[in-house]
Amino acid sequence: MLQRKLKKRIYILTLLFIATSCQSQTRKTDVNKIVGGPCEGCEAVFEYGDKKLFSIDTLPDFKKTEPKLKLIGTVFKKDGKTPAENVILYIYQTNREGIYPKKGDEKGWAKRHGYIRGWIKTNKKGKYTFYTFRPGAYPNGAEPEHIHVTVKELNTNEYYIDEFVFNDDPLLKKTERENLEKRGGSGISVPVMENGILTVHRNIILGQNIPNYE
């Protein structure tokens, strides 16, 4: 009788150990899962230092470079309807010559991204605005004109979304258009002259077409 009870206790303890182990493995997998997949340079979203972020930012060389460009829109939660507050957007781009210009004292990812970059944090209505200028295509003409975008939202690791590209860019050919992933929504923009400045309207939906997003 005693031997039977002992065997029963060992059996129960074994089941509990297996169940606990499985749960631990599941939690570990979930924690280590990277939203958006690998993203080289996305950590640059944190390189704003002690700069206080607002929903509006002006990139370097804006005043002296043409054509000037205004990027505006709303960041929505995954439902596509609810404005997302306190989301950080980081953008960087080339100059008109298609180069990521540097001043020589860059640190971190600025060594590769250059100094034409900026950060905003969305307001209560999910709004964002960047004042910049239209970038140039790479000198070798390998890619269309584009502006890189990284997103950092609360409780989620940083990830990239589709770059801003321009509908009238001759380098944005059919193949390039078809290969766009539409991460966060389409990045194809149509600049429209508004109040004397070319303006791009783009809404961003968090998690849309982003791998591992829950």
Give tens-digit pLDDT for 8-28.
454 444 434 333 333 333 333
Q: Which of 11-20, 60-69, 89-98, 195-204 has the lowest mean pLDDT?
A: 11-20
CATH architecture designation of domain 42-205: Sandwich (2.60)
DSSP H/E element including 200: strand 197-201
pLDDT on residue 149: 98
pLDDT on residue 32: 58
Confidence tier at 214 by pLDDT (50, 70, 90): confident
Q: List, in sequence order, every residue forming a beta bridge with 196; answer none if it has no partner.
A: none
pLDDT on residue 14: 41
Q: List, in sequence order, every residue forming a beta bridge with 193; answer none if it has no partner.
A: 198
Sheet holding 147-152, edge to edge: 117-121, 88-93, 147-152, 159-166, 188-189
For tokens 């990139």, the residue is 59
Q: Answer for the pair 159, 205: CB distance below 8 angstroms, yes or no.
A: no
pLDDT on residue 4: 45
Please write the tens of the pLDDT for every residue from 153-173.
999 999 999 999 999 999 999
Q: Answer for the pair 165, 91: CB distance below 8 angstroms, yes or no.
A: no
| Mean predicted confidence (pLDDT) in 44-66 | 98
Quick one: which of 143, 141, 158 has its CA closest to 35? Answer: 158
Q: How far apart are CA 72 and CA 123, in angstroms?
A: 13
pLDDT exceeds cutoff 50 at 83:
yes
Burial of residue 154, with CB atoms counted within 10 A of its CB: 0-12 exposed, 13-18 middle, 19 or more buried: exposed
Please write the tens of the pLDDT for every residue from 171-212.
999 999 999 999 999 999 999 999 999 999 999 999 999 999
pLDDT exceeds cutoff 90 at 132:
yes
pLDDT on residue 107: 96
Task: Rounding to the nearest 10 degrees, give the CA dihedral for residues 88, 207, 202, 153.
Answer: -10
Q: Hey, CA dihedral for 107, 113, 116, 121, is it positive or negative? A: negative
Pairing state between β 204-205 and 88-93: unpaired
Q: Three-class SS of residue 117?
A: strand
pLDDT on residue 29: 31
Residue ranges covered by each domain of the chain: 1-30, 42-205
Confidence tier at 37 by pLDDT (50, 70, 90): very high
Q: Answer for the pair 132, 198: CB distance below 8 angstroms, yes or no.
A: no
pLDDT on residue 77: 98
